Amino acid sequence: MSKLCTLKEAIEKYVHDGDTVYCAGFTHLIPFSAGHEIIRQGRRDLTLARATPDLIYDQMVAAGCAKKLIFSYIGNPGVGSLRIVRSELEAGRLEWEEYSHFGMISRLQAGAAGLPFIPMNQTAATDLERINPNIRRVKDPYTGREVITVPPLTPDVGIIHVQRADKNGNAHIWGIIGEQKEVAFSSKSVIITAEEIVDEEIIRSDPNRTLIPELIVKAVCHVPHCAHPSYTQGYYDRDNVFYLNWDKISEDPAAVKNWLDEWVYGVKDTEEYWQKLGSETHARLAVKPKFAAPVNYGDY
């Protein structure tokens, strides 16, 4: 059953004020276009969950979409501070809930697996446990030693960018696959954005590559370049220049407002945004092809 729709339609239908939203992607495949569309549609009071909030949540927080952040590392990866998120937290204007990366991904794994908790071994560092009542302990029934637990995270909406999907929502992902599968299975609604919508025969020619199956997907949106300034392995490079520039822009609230006006509110969709980036940027982010070795499944 085809679930194709525009990103605008998908956000209208599945993202509501007050929802917990997880835009997936560890550095790779971050669905920036979805964040921008949420900003354009003026969603409020969202709980934004991500291991690494990255620039996408810095921008959404700047635009006033967020009430709360759930995270495990707030930085501009490889650059430094995530200035807007940081100043909102320091000012006490944004609620937050904090884990280690392992705690965060374990919460997603518990949600995806339908488990009431996931155990983790002790790390000897107990301060996060002290300040976060969601981090608890349970006695291992075999050794009697204590293990650490986290509860499931089950976002209202998970948004996942992929290289290619069929119209039903079966999606191929390669390269860094951080927490995409766990977000998809833990979320109540899943929106897929894809660089390419392909015939289902392409997907079914390589079922081991399908991380996300149609049966958990609500909407499939064709959004090429959705991940910029993050990247899509094999399609375009990470825009490190933009990540460095954001460090400057985000120092100044006026500059942030101008940037949002120009690049989010001022464009109607990803296609317009991408064209506006211009041919020099396109050329800078272009990547030469390098193909995986052939894989023979056999005609059984």
Residues near a copy of itself, by CB under 8 A: 114-121, 136-143, 145, 147, 149, 151, 172, 174-175, 177, 198, 202, 205-206, 208-209, 233-235, 237, 287-300
Q: Which of 6, 134, 240, 281 is in the footprint of another protein by CB under 8 A?
A: 240
Nearest to 269 by CA among 224, 237, 231: 224
Residue 290 in contact with another protein, rule: CB under 8 A: yes
Nearest to 189 by CA among 163, 166, 221: 221
Q: What 3-state class would DSSP assign to 217?
A: coil
Residue 73 in contact with another protein, rule: CB under 8 A: yes
Of residues 132 through 171, those in contact with another protein by CB under 8 A are 145, 170
Instruction: Give least dist CB 119 to another protein, A.
Output: 10
Q: Which of 202, 216, 267, 277 is in the footprint of another protein by CB under 8 A?
A: 216
Sign of the CA dihedral 100, 113, 28, 85?
A: negative
Rounded to whole angstroms, the Cα distance separating 47 from 277 reads 30
Radius of gyration, CA atoms only, the chain? 20
Instruction: Give least dist CB 296 to a copy of itself, A.
Output: 4
Residue 115 in contact with another protein, rule: CB under 8 A: yes
Residue 202 in contact with another protein, rule: CB under 8 A: no
Instruction: Give least dist CB 135 to a copy of itself, A.
Output: 10
Nearer to a copy of itself, 8 or 136 (CB): 136
Nearer to another protein, 12 or 200 (CB): 200
Nearest to 7 by CA among 299, 271, 284, 290: 271
**Mask for 10-49, x = binds another protein (CB under 8 A):** ----------------xxx---------------------
Region near another protein per CB under 8 A, out of 41-49, 157-165, 180-188, 219-227:
180-188
Joined tokens for residue 52: 């690494």
**DSSP per-residue codes, 53-108:** -HHHHHHHHHTT-EEEEEES--EETTTEE-HHHHHHHHTT-SEEEE--HHHHHHHH
Joined tokens for residue 11: 């956000």
Answer with the entry of a copy of itself, another protein, none that 122 interacts with (C-beta below 5 to 8 A by kind): another protein
Q: Which of 35, 178, 189, 195 is in the footprint of another protein by CB under 8 A?
A: 178
Rounded to whole angstroms, the Cα distance separating 278 from 34 reads 21
